[in-house]
């Protein structure tokens, strides 16, 4: 069962795509995602991966190529970041509506301007409504496992939706970690070949992407929405099967030291590891702090999330993106909405931290937790507060 090897997370992700036996990769390099597709192109060029590697002139072409490829029934992968993801925007909606299960890793990076190659979640939050299943990895091992999970879920005949695995740019993509790459035969057993029910085939022609007149468009969107919500079951089942086969257990929502917690920090992505250190430190000081991490972002794991915060007095939601003029960050507004109908719900305090690669330290998490304790008795004046911005 797999060897534990120290490797860069981007390289490990590329190796996972190889283990998944991807057949087509179309991608355009962009920092901090570049190493993933660079390594994949090497694997293809060296004959280690029997796939078609399509070099394209932009991310718009990359994702368009992926749609065509997956429509013919080929297992398809791409990866991007920031401006590249933004350039894909219009095609991303088409991928989900046409039920084309592309798997993409997004190395999360800030959006311009100012120009920034560094990490936050503003790129993916701008793509919140594209109708793709979205997960967030905390560390390299999880990134590898979520990529395998993504192919399994996306291509399931009861799902057939594209899927994004988010990894934090640099803080995860460029980190060297000990990672277990599973054996090929175990991956093959977990991930059967892609056999879509319908595909583009000259022997049996079909049309994909026809016009939806006003009399049918709405019904088509409702059908899509229902199918998307139903993907939940397959997502959970695939994680369960993954745990049986590989021994690593994944859930839509993870909790850490949340029993008896008075303040819960909520975060997505790799910063959760820093937050855990802060929780441990504060627990030693007798402060009842816990951590909640969302692994599954779309479809939103409402049931699991409500369970994780039940009985909690204050929830501090840490957003990694700004939504100018809104009533909170994207995660903050989502969570407030999810909790609105709960009779006993925590007070939600929303922080925005770590934009454009600004470090979020253990001390920053302590500060957020301390403010959350303060807000236990006093309602916050602002809908959200920025952490780590110089005032003078």
Partner 1 sequence: MGKDQALMSWKDVPFGLYIFEPGNSAQFKTGDWRSMRPELDKEKCVKCGSCYILCPDMCYEADEEGFYQVNLFYCKGCGICAAVCPKGAITMVLEEV
What does the binding site for partner 1 look like in residue numbers (CB under 8 A)? 97-99, 160, 197-198, 205-208, 210, 212-213, 215-216, 218-220, 222-223, 226
Which lies closer to partner 1 via its Cβ, residue 185 or residue 215? 215
At closest approach, how far in Å is the CB of 89 from partner 1? 20
Which lies closer to partner 1 via its Cβ, residue 162 or residue 329? 162
Tell me how far CA of residue 218 lies from CA of 132, 213, 223, 229, in angstroms: 19, 9, 9, 17
Print burial letters for 172-204: b (CB count within 10 Å at least 16), e (below 16).
bbbbebebbbbeeeebeebbeebebeebbeeee
- Here the tokens at position 157 are 């005949």
Look at the alpha carbons of 146, 150, 152, 153 in this order and tell me if their dihedral is positive or negative: positive
Which lies closer to partner 1 via its Cβ, residue 199 or residue 251? 199
* Coil vs helix vs strand at 326: coil
Which lies closer to partner 1 via its Cβ, residue 70 or residue 360? 70
Which lies closer to partner 1 via its Cβ, residue 205 or residue 286? 205
At closest approach, how far in Å is the CB of 131 from partner 1? 12
Which lies closer to partner 1 via its Cβ, residue 198 or residue 374? 198
At closest approach, how far in Å is the CB of 215 from partner 1? 4
At closest approach, how far in Å is the CB of 302 from partner 1? 22
Q: β-strand 24-27 against 76-80: which pairing, if any?
A: parallel
At closest approach, how far in Å is the CB of 94 from partner 1? 10
Q: Are 187 and 15 in contact (CB under 8 A)?
A: no
Q: How far apart are CA 118 and CA 357, in angstroms?
A: 4
At closest approach, how far in Å is the CB of 161 from partner 1? 10
At closest approach, how far in Å is the CB of 352 from partner 1? 37
Which lies closer to partner 1 via its Cβ, residue 74 or residue 383? 74
Q: How far apart are CA 25 and CA 48, in angstroms?
A: 14
At closest approach, how far in Å is the CB of 208 from partner 1? 5
Which lies closer to partner 1 via its Cβ, residue 101 or residue 330? 101
Q: Which residues pair with 166 in a beta bridge?
A: 106, 136
At closest approach, how far in Å is the CB of 72 from partner 1? 14
Which lies closer to partner 1 via its Cβ, residue 221 or residue 307? 221
Q: How far apart are CA 64 and CA 333, in angstroms?
A: 32
Q: β-strand 3-8 against 176-181: which pairing, if any?
A: antiparallel
* Coil vs helix vs strand at 264: strand
- Here the tokens at position 232 are 């939940």
* Coil vs helix vs strand at 138: coil
Residue 27: phi and psi, rounded to 5, are: -155, 160
Residue 123: phi and psi, rounded to 5, are: -65, -45
Q: β-strand 289-294 against 253-256: which pairing, if any?
A: antiparallel
DSSP string, 19-50: HTT--EEEE---TTTHHHHHHHHHHHHTTSS-
């Amino acid at each position: 069962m797999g060897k534990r090897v120290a490797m860069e997370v981007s390289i490990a992700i590329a190796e996972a795509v190889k283990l998944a036996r991807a057949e087509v990769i179309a991608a355009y390099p962009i920092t901090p995602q570049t190493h993933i597709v660079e390594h994949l192109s090497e694997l293809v060029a060296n004959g280690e991966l029997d796939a078609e590697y399509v070099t394209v002139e932009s991310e718009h072409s990359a994702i368009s190529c992926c749609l065509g490829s997956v429509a013919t029934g080929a297992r398809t992968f791409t990866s991007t970041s920031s401006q590249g993801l933004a350039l894909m925007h219009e095609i991303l909606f088409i991928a989900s509506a046409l039920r084309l299960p592309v798997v993409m890793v997004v190395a999360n990076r800030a959006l311009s301007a100012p120009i920034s190659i560094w990490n936050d979640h503003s790129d993916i939050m701008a793509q919140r409504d594209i109708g793709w299943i979205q997960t967030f990895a905390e560390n390299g091992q999880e990134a590898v496992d979520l990529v395998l999970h993504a192919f399994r879920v996306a291509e399931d005949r009861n799902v057939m939706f594209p899927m994004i695995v988010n990894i934090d740019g640099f803080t995860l993509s460029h980190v060297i970690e000990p990672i277990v790459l599973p054996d090929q035969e175990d991956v093959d057993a977990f991930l059967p070949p892609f056999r879509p029910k319908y595909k583009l085939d000259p022997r049996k022609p079909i049309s994909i992407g026809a016009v939806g007149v006003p009399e049918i468009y709405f019904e088509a969107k409702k059908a899509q929405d229902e199918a998307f919500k139903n993907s939940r079951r397959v997502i959970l089942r695939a994680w369960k099967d993954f745990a049986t086969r590989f021994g690593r257990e994944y859930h839509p929502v993870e909790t850490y030291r949340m029993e008896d917690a008075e303040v819960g920090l909520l975060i997505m992505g790799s910063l959760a590891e820093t937050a855990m250190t802060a929780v441990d430190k504060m627990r030693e000081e007798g402060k009842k702090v816990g951590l909640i991490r969302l692994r599954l972002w779309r479809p939103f794991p409402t049931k699991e999330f409500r369970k994780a915060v039940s009985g909690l007095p204050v929830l501090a939601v840490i957003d990694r993106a700004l939504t100018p003029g809104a009533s909170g960050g994207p995660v903050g507004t989502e969570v407030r909405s999810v909790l609105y109908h709960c009779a006993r719900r925590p007070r939600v305090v929303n922080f925005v931290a770590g934009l454009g690669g600004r470090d979020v330290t253990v001390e920053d998490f302590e500060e957020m937790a301390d403010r959350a304790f303060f807000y236990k008795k006093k309602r916050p004046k602002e809908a959200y507060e920025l952490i780590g911005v110089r005032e003078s």
